[in-house]
Amino acid sequence: MSYDVNELFKGFRGGDRICFARMYEPLSAEMATSASAKGVRIKEDVEEIVVDAMLKLWKHREKMKSYDHARNFCYKMVANACTDYFRREARQRKRMGRYIKDFDRDDAIEFVMGASRWYEVMKLIEAEIPHLPPRQQQVFRLLCEHMPVRDIAQELGIEISVVYKQRDAAYGKLRLVLEKKGYDASTLILLCVWWNI
């Protein structure tokens, strides 16, 4: 459906949200194209820039003299937002460069992939803990909190040897889960060393 741009603009300037909604669609499409042409490649970032520009247009609607003035205002807001976007990106790259300046490219990739892999393993273990028998859950959680074995035995009212048996049984079950997901047994051992258990 085609609308008279001047009538839409008058309604928009007066605060009519329906007129703004009708202006929004074609203007936002133009602004998205403009942001993409300036080099913003991530769709969500483009949408964020466009929405921000359109919100600023709504906020300053009473200052707009014509539809073209509103349209030019949006282009200016998008251009400024793209400049800010690239400045943020440059700062992030610079910060990241400081963190990995001592790594070569392969080390940096291994570092990032390793952190991601550890996160996956930790999430997998956290998801499996509720499937352990109750006593193994208790022992394993307390070990993860760095509670000494003697204190765990005292808190749970069990022998120290039972704490070790429950720990070993929990390790065995978690190791099997990790192996089914393609991780080797040393992964759990390293996590346990890291957790100091």
| Reported CATH class of domain 5-99 | mainly alpha
CATH fit for domain 104-195, picks 2.60.120.460, 1.10.10.10, 3.40.309.10, 3.40.50.150? 1.10.10.10
pLDDT at residue number 97: 57
pLDDT at 66: 92
pLDDT in tens, the chain (197 residues): 567 888 889 999 999 888 888 888 889 899 999 998 888 888 888 888 988 899 899 999 999 999 999 999 999 999 999 998 888 888 777 766 555 455 455 554 455 446 666 677 778 888 888 999 999 999 888 887 778 889 999 999 999 999 989 988 888 888 888 888 877 655 555 555 445 44
pLDDT score for 113: 46
Whole-number pLDDT of residue 5: 86
Residue boundaries of the structural domains of the chain: 5-99, 104-195
Q: 86-118 as b/e, with b when 16 or more CB fall inside 10 Å?
A: eeeeeeeeeeeeeeeeeeeeeebeeeeeeeeee
